Structure 1
């Protein structure tokens, strides 16, 4: 579990973390205003739980281990417009 909420973390830092913590399953990035490209999250291959904030609008999680359990959070994001989850076997009927 890693909670880096409210930190001045950026995309490059997340890549370093993903490369160092390849088995990380829980990640919290609430109010990380310098993380601009959520595509970097695809580097977290074992990620099952992701906590962002409700300003999220676009997210690509292709080839990750996200599951149906993470989908209700996305529904609560009022600005959410686009989700890409190809090849995510953990997301099936209930999560959609």
Structure 2
């Protein structure tokens, strides 16, 4: 089950569970659509993979399976992945 992380790892923008702006890679690294297109240029800085829109969990399921509250922010900043740097 997806954790539905609460923020963009690049700019720290809030990405609530119902956000259509949340993008994830296969490791569930979470970024906003703006950072994915303008800063990361479609490549995850953690694994080098691509992104897709994060699905929205239905409200009834969100009550039963809440979104994560753990915020993750790249301390070193973020930029396009030139090569995968290992598992996130």
- The two structures have a TM-score, normalised by structure 1, of 0.24
- Which structure has greater helix proportion? 1
Query: Which one has more relative contact order, counting CA pairs under 8 Å at least 6 apart?
Result: 2
